[in-house]
Amino acid sequence: MMIRPFLYDFKRTITSTSVLILIGIILLISLAIIPFTTPIVSSFRGSGSDILYYRDPGAYHFIVFSSDQYGQPLQGTKISMSLSGVKTYANATTTNSEGYAFITLSAPNGTYTLAVNETNGANMASFGWYMFASPIGEPQFSIGSPISTVQDRANASKRDVQTFYAALYGAKPSGYSIRYKVAATSPPPPYKDSTPYTKDQMDFLGNLTNYRQVFDPAIADGLPGTTSVWFELFAPNGTAVSGTEIPVFELRQQQFRPEATNIASSFFSTILSFFMPLAAILGAYSSYGKDRLTGVLESILARPISRRGLAISRFLSTLTALAVAAIVSVGLVDLVLNEVVGSVLPQDYALAIISGLVVEIAAFTGLVFLLSHLVKSTGVLLGISIVLFVVLDFFWGLIIFLLTLLLGGTSGSAVALEATLVSYYANPAQFLQLINVYVFQSSSGTTLQSSNYGVTLPAIVLDGFLWAILPFLAFMYLAVKRD
Amino acid sequence: MFEIKAATKVFSAKQGPAISSVSFDVRNGEIVGFVGLNGAGKTTTIRIAVGVSLPTSGTVVIDGRDITREKPEASKSIGWVPEIPNFEPNAKAWKLMRYLAGFYGIDRKEATKESKDLLASVGLSGFENRKFRTYSQGMKKRFSLAVSMLSNPQNFLFDEVLNGLDPEGIQFFRQLMMGQKKVNKAILLSSHILTEVENLADRVVFIHKGKVVKTATRDELASYAAKGTTLRIQFQNITDDAVSYLKTLGTVLIEGNAIVLSDFQGDSSQVNTELVKRGLQVREIKHERTGLEEYFFEIIRRTDTAK
């Protein structure tokens, strides 16, 4: 094989207009990561609602406040609650227009396990808590705390202070106030009992007039993030009833964003994993399939280049162009994540993703090159390629699901999960899913031990190697040995 | 020079070989005509010779290099003009030329100049910036010819290049081939236009049903013509007596109720008189010019009759 014509064809193919356009599109698509980094506003704040309770001699009374991430009340959240001890006591209700729900469970004083289920639209939260015997009438917290922070609705870069409190026997707080003090050190001196500052030593923030209120503390700009701000709730008689220390960085914390790896994994396994096979199909069609089936390739083959050289140069140039696009794309995603989220992908994960994308590109490029030797027209080639793409990319899950049902499995069962995971080996379009399952040890939000389902590193490496090499070898055989 | 050695091509086991043990050579300074009916195997042979198709068996040696095993080197010595030139349709002609020149190691600057020069030399001056798909059939052939001359190859293979050309185009190709012959190039010309082949070729290779059935030199063709004319005698019914008589006058081929009498030298009216005397009903006696076309059909007839 003369190397010069090979390199010439390689260079010309990799710099052809169609390949360059594809690279450009891939890079543009990598910017689609940006919407993935936008804050996730859940119907629920954190893992659920704020709940406090008090008891009287015959029952426990719960006050629940359901809010979104901005601390805004959520009406209509269904709250189911049960106390399990010697006996189980249960009740349910929904939150009112102020986001409150009031539930009474006629249980005697004792030690219980509290279980709460909340549903608001498609959002659900469940949690449990131990409750110990408590004094009559005194408000107790089971979930949340009297002073916490919520995202400021108008300013994405700061958080406000939320109070959630009740007077004796669940009465609305009256005469209570919240105060704060910016301290240079943590814990701030003087620290007396549980109250570091007296009421007079602190700055007034607001009076409590309802169970739940939001206050905007005027924290000066330029304070170091580690500076502590001490917040205290004072009863009408001036005694501190609850206090908490919140560092300045938490008050300036931006809205909740998932970490870089989580954003990237969902982006890679949806957008890039979807687009890369399509890019490989179009790239392979443009650089080889079309030319071969229209006969244009013969005008090249009549030049001083071997059949093997031409076949390898076309395959490698397509693969290289798309692989470079994939690498730059992952780099761009990393840059965006660094800029927006403030963290970058772990190197190992980035390499795994790049390898996975290269396997997808090699497999689909090889398959289209191979198909070019098995069909007679460009229309048939494109048709089969697109059908292959649609089936492998869109309908794979459905096909495996139906097969599982046919074989007697049930949706969501361990057998169905195993069938799904094992099926990823047979589908190059799902190769990134395989990597994600291995890296995160989870599938569709279900935590699992991937090795129990046959998803191991050696198996993934072998599968990737086979997908990268087998279609190429089959294509090479036909390209070199057959017309 | 190039030599085709026992080239066989089987596309499908059901259909039998497209060509079978085809062997001939084309020497430097020689134009060899390559004639045959449609489907005889001319294009298949040429495609194998230029390396775009693989022989099932046999080989082609181009200036001492095997086209299958040493293709890049062998391809440097070949200029191929296919019957239907097929290049990237959306590329501009001169850019396409420059791109193809790169395969011969011609640098970009040189290739740009050479492309424009070659396009001008084939009469495409002023059309360099047009896309290939906008070219007429004749322009495509001229373009393909320019491409075939990129590396100034020693060997040319022209597959039905004269098809679809206007008289000016045919004359252009004719002159070009003669010019290339003068500079000692080896040229294989496949064509249906047998008069052109007859005028240009030093030798003619006849291919029929995938096999070379005859290779004739210009001298052999001339002596065939000198042998005499061919008479086509249409009878009411052919008798053994008529066949015996006509065999004394030349070579006889029976086609239905007609006898084709070749190598005949004499007076056709006397033949008619003698046949009538013998009680035969002669419906028509027709003179056929003896040339490559007759020679070609005679060879085919003989081949088919022998089978």
Q: Where are the domains of chain A?
A: 3-37+257-481, 42-144, 149-256
Kindly state whether residues B243 and B108 are assigned to the same domain.
no
Residues B75, A305: C-beta atoms closer than 8 Å: yes
Q: According to the model, what pLDDT value does residue A186 have?
A: 53
Kindly state whether residues B20 and B133 are assigned to the same domain.
yes
Q: What is the mean pLDDT of chain A?
A: 85
Residues A482, B54: C-beta atoms closer than 8 Å: yes
Kindly state whether residues B114 and B191 are assigned to the same domain.
yes
Kindly state whether residues B50 and B163 are assigned to the same domain.
yes
Cβ-Cβ pairs closer than 8 A, A with B, add up to 63
Q: List pLDDT tens digits, range A86-99.
A: 889 999 999 999 99
Statement: residue A193 has pLDDT above 70: no
Residues B72, A305: C-beta atoms closer than 8 Å: yes
Statement: residue A218 has pLDDT above 90: no
Statement: residue B57 has pLDDT above 80: yes
Q: According to the model, what pLDDT value does residue A41 have?
A: 47
Statement: residue B3 has pLDDT above 90: yes
**Burial classification of residue B141, based on how many CB atoms lie within 10 Å of its CB (0-12 exposed, 13-18 middle, 19 or more buried):** buried
Instruction: Express as a percent the part of chain A with pLDDT over 70.
Output: 90
Confidence of residue B281 (pLDDT cuts 50, 70, 90): confident
Residue B148: give its domain's CATH number: 3.40.50.300
CA angle A145, A151, A155 (to 5 degrees): 150
Please give the ipTM for the structure prediction. Answer: 0.82
Chain A residues inside the 8 Å CB shell of B76: 304
What is the mean pLDDT of the segment spanning A233-253? 83
Q: According to the model, what pLDDT value does residue B71 have?
A: 94
- The answer to whether A42-144 and A149-256 have equal CATH topology is yes
Kindly state whether residues B246 and B204 are assigned to the same domain.
no
**Burial classification of residue A411, based on how many CB atoms lie within 10 Å of its CB (0-12 exposed, 13-18 middle, 19 or more buried):** exposed
Q: Residues in chain B, how many? A: 307
Statement: residue A454 has pLDDT above 60: yes
Say how far apart CA A236 and CA A244 lie, in whole Å: 19
Residue carrying the six token digits 């249960």: A90
Residue B270 placed within a domain: yes
Lowest mean pLDDT among A113-117, A122-126, B15-19, B52-56: A122-126
Mark out chain B residues that contact chain A at CB-CB < 8 A.
50-54, 71-73, 75-76, 78, 80, 82, 85-89, 99-100, 102-105, 147, 151
Kindly state whether residues B47 and B159 are assigned to the same domain.
yes
Asked if A387 is an interface residue toward chain B (Cβ–Cβ < 8 A), one would say: no
Please tell me which residue, A1 or A235, carries the higher pLDDT value: A235
Confidence of residue A192 (pLDDT cuts 50, 70, 90): very low
Say how far apart CA B216 and CA B294 lie, in whole Å: 13
- β-strand partners of B255: B258
Q: According to the model, what pLDDT value does residue B54 have?
A: 95
Q: According to the model, what pLDDT value does residue A205 have?
A: 93
Please tell me which residue, A193 or A195, carries the higher pLDDT value: A195
The fold of A42-144 is Immunoglobulin-like (2.60.40)
Residue B53 placed within a domain: yes
- β-strand partners of B78: B155
What is the mean pLDDT of the segment spanning A17-27? 89
Distance from CA of B126 to the nearest CA of A (A): 23
CB B205 within 8 A of CB B35: yes
What radius of gyration do chain A's Cα atoms show?
Answer: 31
Closest listed residue to residue B33, CA positions, set B176, B215, B304, B302: B215
Statement: residue B115 has pLDDT above 50: yes
Residue A373 makes CB contacts below 8 A (sequence gap 6+) with A292, A475, A478, A479, A482
Q: List pLDDT tens digits, range A377-431.
A: 999 999 999 999 999 988 988 888 888 888 777 766 777 888 888 899 999 999 9
Residue B301 placed within a domain: no
Kindly state whether residues B195 and B156 are assigned to the same domain.
yes
Statement: residue A143 has pLDDT above 60: yes
Kindly state whether residues B192 and B265 are assigned to the same domain.
no
Instruction: Express as a percent the part of chain B with pLDDT over 90.
Output: 60
What is the mean pLDDT of the segment spanning B80-102? 93
**Given B217, B241, B274, which residue is the final one in a domain?**
B217
What is the mean pLDDT of the segment spanning B141-168? 92
Residue A13 has φ and ψ, to the nearest 5°, of -70, -45
**Given B217, B239, B267, which residue is the final one in a domain?**
B217
**Given B197, B217, B237, which residue is the final one in a domain?**
B217
Residues B75, A8: C-beta atoms closer than 8 Å: no
**Exposure of A308 in the CB half-sphere (CA atoms within 13 A):** 11
Kindly state whether residues B128 and B90 are assigned to the same domain.
yes
Asked if A12 is an interface residue toward chain B (Cβ–Cβ < 8 A), one would say: yes
Say how far apart CA B101 and CA B114 lie, in whole Å: 9
**Edge-first strand listing for the sheet containing A159-164:** A147-151, A159-164, A212-215
Kindly state whether residues B118 and B64 are assigned to the same domain.
yes
Number of structural domains in chain B: 2
What is the mean pLDDT of the segment spanning B286-301? 77
Residue B177 placed within a domain: yes
CB A371 within 8 A of CB A385: yes
What is the mean pLDDT of the segment spanning B213-241? 83
Residue B306 placed within a domain: no
Lowest mean pLDDT among A18-22, A193-197, A271-275, B45-49: A193-197
Statement: residue B270 has pLDDT above 70: yes
| SS3 label, residue A371 | helix
Residues B75, A291: C-beta atoms closer than 8 Å: no
- Domain boundaries A149-256, CATH class: mainly beta
Confidence of residue A253 (pLDDT cuts 50, 70, 90): low
Kindly state whether residues B70 and B204 are assigned to the same domain.
yes
Query: Containing domain of residue B139, as a range?
Result: 2-217
Distances (CA, A) of A274 to A352, A400, A429, B284: 17, 18, 7, 78
Residue B248: give its domain's CATH number: 3.30.70
* H or E, element range at A283: helix A273-284
Statement: residue B79 has pLDDT above 80: yes
Kindly state whether residues B24 and B172 are assigned to the same domain.
yes
CB B83 within 8 A of CB B160: yes
Statement: residue B49 has pLDDT above 80: yes
Q: According to the model, what pLDDT value does residue A44 have?
A: 53
Residue B19 placed within a domain: yes
